[in-house]
């Protein structure tokens, strides 16, 4: 559901360029940019340019436009640093699941030897 009266969220502002971000990948449908709080170096967020609150509101067309970019971004991140030896891809839906920005996004968290990150 896209509600034009919906309050603009921080990711809408990043997409519109009103808030600066370090872009990792961009096309007509999606933007991937570095997370302001890096769980590990290279922590990236993928968002749909069309505002969609959470995964429950994704239709087939939006899913195709956005989810097909996951491997492209994964490969770009891996290529950016030879020290990356793994990658966690996470999507939080709802406050109870840790979703703080209500604009569906996927976290790409690169993993490094002995990075001590524990999910
Ligand atoms: P969530 O907790 O909703 O799954 O993830 C939201 C993410 O957005 C957090 O990891 C947070 O650090 C990131 N974030 C919040 N505000 C900004 C911002 O203004 N710029 C960037 N690049 N990331 C942000």
Domain count of the chain?
1
Quote the CA–CA distance of 117 and 104 in Å, as a whole number.
23
Whether 22 maps to a domain, the answer reads: yes
Q: What is the pLDDT of residues 62-113, one digit of tens each?
A: 999 999 999 999 999 999 999 999 999 999 999 999 999 999 999 999 999 9
Task: Find the 82 Cα to ligand 1 centroid distance in Å.
Answer: 25
User: Which pLDDT value is given to residue 33?
Assistant: 98
Whether 119 maps to a domain, the answer reads: no
pLDDT at 5 over 50: no
CB of 95 sitting under 6 A from ligand 1: no
27-57 burial: b if 16+ Cβ within 10 Å, else e: eeebbbbbbeeebbebbbbbbbbebbbbeee
Task: Find the 107 Cα to ligand 1 centroid distance in Å.
Answer: 9
Quote the CA–CA distance of 38 and 61 in Å, as a whole number.
31
CB of 90 sitting under 6 A from ligand 1: no
Task: Find the 35 Cα to ligand 1 centroid distance in Å.
Answer: 6
- Please give the residue range of the domain that contains residue 83: 10-111
> Would you name the residues annotated as active-site residues?
105
Is the ipTM beyond the 0.95 threshold?
A: yes
Q: What is the CATH number of the domain that holds 24?
A: 3.30.428.10
> Quick one: which atom of ligand 1 is closest to the CA of 21?
22
Please say whether the beta carbons of 13 and 3 come within 8 A.
Answer: no
Collapse the DSSP code of 24 into the 3-class scheme (helix H, G, I; strand E, B; otherwise coil) and give the result: strand
């Amino acid at each position: 559901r896209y509600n034009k009266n919906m309050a603009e969220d921080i990711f809408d502002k990043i997409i519109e360029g009103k808030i600066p971000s370090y872009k990792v990948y961009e096309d007509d449908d999606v933007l991937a940019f570095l997370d302001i709080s890096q769980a590990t170096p290279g922590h990236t967020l993928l968002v749909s340019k069309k505002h969609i609150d959470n995964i429950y509101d994704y239709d087939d067309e939006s899913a195709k436009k956005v989810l097909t970019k996951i491997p492209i971004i994964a490969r770009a991140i891996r290529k950016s640093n030879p020290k990356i030896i793994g990658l966690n891809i996470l999507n939080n839906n709802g406050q109870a699941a840790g979703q703080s920005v209500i604009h569906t996004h996927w976290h790409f968290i690169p993993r490094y030897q002995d990075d001590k990150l524990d999910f």
